[in-house]
Amino acid sequence: MGSSRIQNWKNSVIYLTLLLTTIHLIAQTHFSHNLLFWNIESVRVKKIPNLPLRFRSDGTFKILQVADMHYGSGTITHCRDVLASQFEFCSDHNTTRFLKRVIHAENPDFIAFTGDNIFGSSTPDAAESLFKAFGPAMESGLPWAAILGNHDHESSMNREELMSFISLMDYSVSQINPSTNDLTSATKGGIMTKIDGFGNYNLQVHGAPGSMLANSSVLNLFFLDSGAKTVFQGIRTYDWIKDSQLRWLLQVSQELQEQKQDPLHPTDATPLNKPPALAFFHIPIPETPQLFYKEIVGQFQEGVACSRVNSGVLETLVSIRDVKAVFFGHDHKNDFCGNLGGIWFCYGGGFGYHGYGKAGWPRRARIIQAELQKGKNSWMGVERIKTWKRLDDEKMSKIDEQILWDQQLV
């Protein structure tokens, strides 16, 4: 009787083992390809760049601005305003190729996408288009950030969904909006419960590794959502940066400028001026047309498409005194820099091949480089900010190099 029970128990164990093995094999050969929870390898976590953003050991920090990619659906998306000899073989892939080329040529530390990253009306799937548009940036492993233009939301995602999705992409340091702690109004006792738009945030760039300012922010990058289109007093117009965004900008700028240096650092580690800042948004401000009558670097080839509403962006930027240059896009055939109120306002120039342009006028990208001042024993704060452009021609031509700000000339 005892031996019979033992034999039955052994048979049960063998049967159970065979059953589990069979289930495992079936799962591996069939279900693992169809059900996410069977396939552990398909679960991914966002790839995070090396943070914080910081200057290189040679005292430089280089930004690649990509304005108006207007990415559509890939191969089937035709190019606009190219030479007849280019048209048949030109598509979104030319935009991708250009982005890869300029990343390789310049080896930037950071990439800033300044809106109209995708052309919403040309793609039924915004997520797929975003993955393709930002693909080279993600493949590079470089930190990158984006804001929205007036065409990104014209597909399957609204503006909030777009910024949320972009913030979750590999190596992106984009943010949907400031955290709750950052929304305290500059007005005494006031609380800013809402900020207009999606994609208002600031990024801090630290000093060179091993320097006395390695743990301090020496350059600040402001990103603002300039909106899309709206109706003002019965007239359809481009949107504008709102009061809530400007109040947030004022507050953050003030807090950054009041940051105390580490008391353990010698006095020569303290920058002579407050840390400078750069601003990025998509739609130019209403004062931009004034630059037609002033000295500029680059080409002014089309009318400025800006809002009818002047919300005081220039006045605000002048008052906070830390923003030295502003970079935007929107008008693809303009690629100039001009000075308003002591601040340089620069177009990125049309980057993408599905966006309108000018046949025979190469697509282009803007480069911004900040350089640190050399102290007796260490790199100090930012001394100089320069810019130039790269053309998508055979030689990747470098043009219009200029100094935007020099601490020694202030």
Q: Mind listing the pLDDT tens digit for each residue in 312-340?
A: 999 999 999 999 999 999 999 999 999 99
DSSP 162-179: HHHHHHTSTTB---SS--
Neighbours of 94 (CB within 10 A): 19
pLDDT tens digits, 339-385 = 999 999 999 999 999 999 999 999 999 999 999 999 888 999 999 99
**Going by CATH, does the domain composed of 49-409 fall within 3.60.21.10?**
yes
Mean predicted confidence (pLDDT) in 29-38: 39
Question: According to the model, what pLDDT value does residue 316 have?
Answer: 97
Question: According to the model, what pLDDT value does residue 96 have?
Answer: 98
- Kindly indicate the confidence band of residue 10, based on its pLDDT and cuts at 50, 70 and 90: low
- Domains in the chain: boundaries: 1-43, 49-409
Mean predicted confidence (pLDDT) in 1-5: 55
Please check the confidence at residue 394 and state whether its pLDDT lies above 50.
yes
Mean pLDDT of the chain: 88
Question: According to the model, what pLDDT value does residue 128 have?
Answer: 96
Could you give the CA distance from residue 382 to residue 115 in angstroms, rounded to a whole number?
27
Mean predicted confidence (pLDDT) in 387-395: 97
- Kindly indicate the confidence band of residue 101, based on its pLDDT and cuts at 50, 70 and 90: very high
Residue 371, SS3?
strand
Which residues does 218 contact at the CB level (< 8 Å), separation at least 6?
55, 205, 206, 207, 271, 275, 372, 381, 382
pLDDT tens digits, 120-136 = 899 999 999 999 999 99
Q: Is the dihedral of CA 140, 146, 148, 154 positive or negative?
A: positive
Question: In 3D, which of 332, 355, 302 has the Cα closest to residue 80?
Answer: 355
Question: According to the model, what pLDDT value does residue 299 have?
Answer: 98
Burial-class residue 184 by CB neighbours within 10 Å (0-12, 13-18, 19+).
Answer: middle
Q: Is the dihedral of CA 6, 9, 15, 17 positive or negative?
A: negative
Two structure tokens written together for 8: 């039955």
Question: According to the model, what pLDDT value does residue 261 have?
Answer: 47
- Kindly indicate the confidence band of residue 30, based on its pLDDT and cuts at 50, 70 and 90: very low
Question: In 3D, which of 66, 146, 155, 79 has the Cα closest to residue 359?
Answer: 79
Question: According to the model, what pLDDT value does residue 406 have?
Answer: 96
Residue 281 has, within 13 A of its CA and on its CB side, a CA count of 29
Could you give the CA distance from residue 323 to residue 159 in angstroms, rounded to a whole number?
26
Task: List Cβ<8 Å contacts ≥24 apart for 265-268.
Answer: 265/212, 265/213, 266/212, 268/212, 268/375, 268/376, 268/377, 268/378, 268/380
- Kindly indicate the confidence band of residue 266, based on its pLDDT and cuts at 50, 70 and 90: very low
Question: In 3D, which of 124, 119, 62, 113 has the Cα closest to residue 91?
Answer: 119
Please check the confidence at residue 295 and state whether its pLDDT lies above 70.
yes
Triad 228, 242, 65: Cα angle to 5°:
55
Could you give the CA distance from residue 160 to residue 142 in angstroms, rounded to a whole number?
24
Neighbours of 367 (CB within 10 A): 19
Please check the confidence at residue 98 and state whether its pLDDT lies above 80.
yes
Least confident of 28-37, 86-95, 285-294: 28-37
pLDDT tens digits, 133-162 = 999 999 999 999 999 999 999 999 999 999
Question: In 3D, which of 159, 155, 177, 175 has the Cα closest to residue 167?
Answer: 175
Burial-class residue 410 by CB neighbours within 10 Å (0-12, 13-18, 19+).
Answer: exposed
- Kindly indicate the confidence band of residue 197, based on its pLDDT and cuts at 50, 70 and 90: very high
Q: Is 331 within 8 Å of 391 (Cβ atoms)?
A: no
Could you give the CA distance from residue 209 to residue 215 in angstroms, rounded to a whole number?
9
Question: According to the model, what pLDDT value does residue 257 have?
Answer: 79
Total-model pTM: 0.86
The dihedral over CA atoms of 47, 51, 57, 60, expressed in degrees to the nearest 10, equals 90
Please check the confidence at residue 190 and state whether its pLDDT lies above 60.
no
The Cα-based distances of 328 to 95, 139, 212, 347 in angstroms read 19, 25, 33, 5
pLDDT tens digits, 35-49 = 343 444 566 789 999
Question: According to the model, what pLDDT value does residue 409 have?
Answer: 85
Question: According to the model, what pLDDT value does residue 385 have?
Answer: 98
Question: According to the model, what pLDDT value does residue 374 have?
Answer: 93
Please check the confidence at residue 112 and state whether its pLDDT lies above 60.
yes
Mean predicted confidence (pLDDT) in 95-124: 96
Question: According to the model, what pLDDT value does residue 21 have?
Answer: 60
The Cα-based distances of 390 to 90, 132, 143, 387 in angstroms read 20, 22, 20, 10
Q: What percent of the chain has pLDDT over 70?
A: 82
Could you give the CA distance from residue 40 to residue 108 in angstroms, rounded to a whole number?
35
Please check the confidence at residue 1 and state whether its pLDDT lies above 90.
no
Which one-letter amino acid corresponds to residue 257?
Q
Residue with the bigger pLDDT between 36 and 9: it is: 9
- Kindly indicate the confidence band of residue 53, based on its pLDDT and cuts at 50, 70 and 90: very high
- Kindly indicate the confidence band of residue 262, based on its pLDDT and cuts at 50, 70 and 90: very low
Mean predicted confidence (pLDDT) in 11-33: 53
* 168 backbone dihedrals φ, ψ, rounded to 5°: -95, 0
